[in-house]
């Protein structure tokens, strides 16, 4: 066990791709401590990815990338500035609202972060915004993609804890909007203290809003198809993802006409390789979890945790701290696959609803997307803005505090995550 864990951590910081670090650590541990034939590795890898439900991931990734290549980010930025551009510190708020819109289309945050940063940082620089703080805020806006449906992390959480993807998606909406509200108020308060940007706003124009709304409307079809289709009982999650992909094709090629058929292979190949990086981690992580399961670790951890406290609140607090630390160093999907099979049954024994627990997990790990040293959204935002990760890291406290406040609400008020699924499903 220690071999597997220690080896994994060592490989993790040595620059080996996580997918191989997981596999190698598990393989070494299996070699050293068991007599099981090594064909177990191939067998688990196959089992990890041979899942119809997981197919939602390539579809969501492809439709997100197509939307972004098809000009949706620009339209959402225009709509967002018409909506909130009249408020103090407007460009922070525009970034957050744009992130919210993109989050409703895409399943993971790094592409959203890159799109927002590319469109917005030049303007922010011109208007003398603090680019490091702006990048941290943009990273947080991009990380919303994991909480607001569709979300790839939530798909994996739902599958791992045997819950319906639809319920998990609905459970993420209110917490996601809470994070949005938190980020917006945090940035607004901060902008009022900042001499450079406190006067930065534009006049509100209803005309402009209507025009921007109409331009962005076709792009909003995608979330409507996904959520409406699942709630309305028309599709399963995988089918909804597939229909979202076809809707995206119609919107970007038929309505916006910004994508040509000749662009498709390039974008689809990118979608294939990006979703493969997620799915292949699921595959090798299942070798790792197999090893952990055969070593009886889940039972050990369960005994230790349940011996520690009877209170579900204390338990959830411990889980939050654990997940925040893990999220600092690890990529979300592998964190879910390694930890959730252990934590979820314990949570259930404390009487915590699996959907709430899944949303807590997702929110913790989307915070991990902006925490150094390893936070993919922070990394992308810094790179696109041309800043070093250390510089941006110094300003991450502001969005971080806002997200932590939302996390506390989700953790200690079950209705935040459970109310919407209970009303709609």
Partner 1 sequence: ADYVFKAAHTNAAGEVQDMGLQKMKELLEAKTDGAATIEIYAGGQLGDEQQTVEGVMMGTVDIAMTSNAMLSNYVEDYKVFDLPFLFPSIPALGEKVDANWELMESDANEAGFELLAVFSSGIRHLMTAEPVNSIADLEGMKIRTMQNPVHVSAFRAYNANPTPMSYSELYGAMQSGVVDGAEGASTGYDGMKFYEVAPNFALVGWLNMTAPITMQKGKFDALPADIQTALLESGAEAATWQRQYVVDQEEPLLASFREKGVNITTPDTAPFIEASKPLYASELTTDGQKKLFEALTN
Partner 2 sequence: MPSGTSSDVIRFLKGALAILRRLIDGIALLLLAYMAGAILMQIIGRYFFNYSIAWSEETATFAQVWLTLLGAGIAMRYNQHVGVDVLIRKAPLPVQRLCNAAGLGLGVWFLAVVVVGSLSMVSIGMIVKSPALRIPMAWPYMALPVGFGYFLIEFAITFAPKILRPETDKTEVPA
The answer to whether the beta carbons of residues 391 and 132 sit under 8 Å apart is yes
Nearer to partner 2 by Cβ, of 85 and 142: the residue is 142
Determine, following the binding rule CB under 5 A, whether residue 334 of this chain makes contact with Na ion. no
Determine, following the binding rule CB under 5 A, whether residue 364 of this chain makes contact with Na ion. no
The answer to whether the beta carbons of residues 170 and 149 sit under 8 Å apart is yes
Dihedral over alpha carbons 109, 424, 241, 286 (to 10 degrees): 70
Q: What is the DSSP letter of 261?
A: G
DSSP string, 154-201: HHHHHHHTT--HHHHHHHHHHHHHHHHHHHHHHHHHHHHH-TTTTT--
Smallest separation, CB 236 to partner 1 (Å): 5
Determine, following the binding rule CB under 8 A, whether residue 294 of this chain makes contact with partner 2. no
H helices of 72-164, in order, are 72-84, 90-103, 109-126, 131-143, 152-160
**Is residue 322 classed exposed, middle or buried when 0-12, 13-18 and 19+ CB atoms within 10 A define those classes?**
middle
| Site pattern 328..367 for partner 2 (x: CB under 8 A) | -x-x------------------------------------
319 interface partner picked from partner 1, partner 2, Na ion, none, CB below 5 to 8 A per type: none
Nearer to partner 2 by Cβ, of 237 and 319: the residue is 237
Among 6, 37, 228, 386, binds partner 2 (CB under 8 A): 37
- Piece in contact with partner 2 (CB under 8 A), picked from 151-159, 182-190, 238-246, 343-351: 238-246
3-state helix, strand, coil in the chain (%, to 5): 80, 0, 20
Nearer to partner 2 by Cβ, of 120 and 420: the residue is 120
Among 97, 145, 170, 363, binds Na ion (CB under 5 A): 145
Determine, following the binding rule CB under 8 A, whether residue 261 of this chain makes contact with partner 2. no
Determine, following the binding rule CB under 8 A, whether residue 244 of this chain makes contact with partner 1. no
The answer to whether the beta carbons of residues 144 and 176 sit under 8 Å apart is yes
Determine, following the binding rule CB under 8 A, whether residue 163 of this chain makes contact with partner 1. yes
368 interface partner picked from partner 1, Na ion, partner 2, none, CB below 5 to 8 A per type: Na ion
The answer to whether the beta carbons of residues 375 and 139 sit under 8 Å apart is yes
Determine, following the binding rule CB under 8 A, whether residue 52 of this chain makes contact with partner 1. yes
Determine, following the binding rule CB under 8 A, whether residue 283 of this chain makes contact with partner 2. yes
Measure the CA–CA gap between 419 and 425, rounded to whole angstroms: 10
Nearer to partner 2 by Cβ, of 213 and 329: the residue is 329
Hey, is 41 helix, strand or coil? helix
Measure the CA–CA gap between 146 and 367, rounded to whole angstroms: 10
Among 49, 215, 297, 324, binds partner 2 (CB under 8 A): 49
Task: Give yes or no for a cis peptide into 174 (omega within 30° of 0).
Answer: no
- Is the sign of the CA dihedral 310, 316, 319, 324 positive or negative? negative
Determine, following the binding rule CB under 5 A, whether residue 237 of this chain makes contact with Na ion. no
Site for partner 1 in 213-242 (CB under 8 A): 230-237
Determine, following the binding rule CB under 8 A, whether residue 33 of this chain makes contact with partner 1. no
The answer to whether the beta carbons of residues 329 and 373 sit under 8 Å apart is yes
Determine, following the binding rule CB under 8 A, whether residue 327 of this chain makes contact with partner 2. no
Interface positions with partner 2 (CB under 8 A): 11-21, 23-24, 27, 37-43, 45-46, 49-52, 54-55, 58-59, 62, 110-111, 114, 234-235, 238-239, 242-243, 245-246, 265, 268-269, 271-277, 279-281, 283, 329, 331, 373-374, 376, 379-380, 383-384, 389
Interface positions with partner 1 (CB under 8 A): 36-37, 39-40, 43-44, 46-47, 51-53, 158-159, 162-167, 230-237, 286, 290, 293-294, 341, 425
């Amino acid at each position: 066990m220690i071999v597997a864990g220690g080896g994994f951590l060592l490989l993790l910081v040595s620059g080996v791709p996580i997918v191989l670090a997981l596999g190698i650590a598990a393989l070494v541990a299996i070699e050293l401590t068991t007599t099981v034939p090594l064909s177990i590795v191939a067998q688990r890898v196959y089992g990890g990815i041979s899942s119809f439900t997981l197919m939602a991931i390539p579809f969501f990734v492809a439709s997100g990338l197509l939307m972004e290549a098809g000009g949706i980010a620009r339209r959402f930025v225009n709509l967002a500035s018409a909506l909130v551009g009249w408020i103090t510190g407007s460009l922070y708020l525009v970034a957050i609202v744009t992130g919210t819109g993109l989050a409703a289309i895409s399943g993971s945050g790094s592409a959203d972060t890159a799109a927002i940063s590319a469109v917005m940082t030049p303007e922010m620089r011109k208007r003398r915004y603090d680019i490091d703080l702006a990048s941290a805020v943009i990273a947080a806006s991009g990380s919303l993609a994991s909480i607001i449906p569709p979300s790839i992390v939530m798909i994996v959480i739902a599958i791992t804890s045997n819950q319906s993807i639809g319920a998990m998606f609905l459970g993420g909406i209110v917490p996601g909007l809470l994070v949005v509200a938190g980020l917006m108020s945090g940035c607004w308060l901060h902008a009022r203290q900042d001499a450079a940007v406190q006067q930065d706003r534009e006049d509100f124009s209803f005309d402009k809003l209507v025009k921007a709304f109409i331009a962005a409307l076709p792009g909003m079809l995608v979330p409507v198809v996904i959520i409406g289709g699942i709630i309305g009982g028309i599709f399963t999650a995988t089918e909804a993802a597939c229909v979202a992909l076809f809707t995206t094709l119609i919107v970007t090629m038929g309505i916006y006409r910004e994508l040509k058929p000749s662009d498709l292979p390039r974008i689809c190949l990118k979608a294939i390789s990006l979703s493969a990086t997620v799915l292949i981690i699921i595959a090798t992580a299942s070798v790792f979890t197999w090893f952990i399961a055969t070593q009886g670790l889940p039972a050990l951890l369960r005994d230790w945790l349940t011996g520690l406290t009877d209170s579900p609140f204390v338990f959830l607090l411990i889980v939050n701290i654990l997940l925040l630390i893990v999220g600092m160093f690890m990529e979300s999907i592998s964190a879910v696959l390694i930890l959730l099979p252990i934590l979820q049954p314990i949570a259930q024994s404390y009487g915590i609803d699996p959907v709430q627990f899944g949303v807590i997990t997702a929110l913790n790990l989307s915070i991990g997307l902006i925490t150094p040293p390893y936070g993919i959204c922070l990394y992308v935002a810094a790179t696109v803005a041309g800043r070093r990760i250390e510089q941006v890291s110094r300003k991450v406290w502001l969005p971080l505090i806002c997200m932590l406040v939302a996390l506390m609400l989700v953790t200690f008020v079950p209705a935040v995550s459970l109310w919407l699924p209970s009303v709609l499903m």
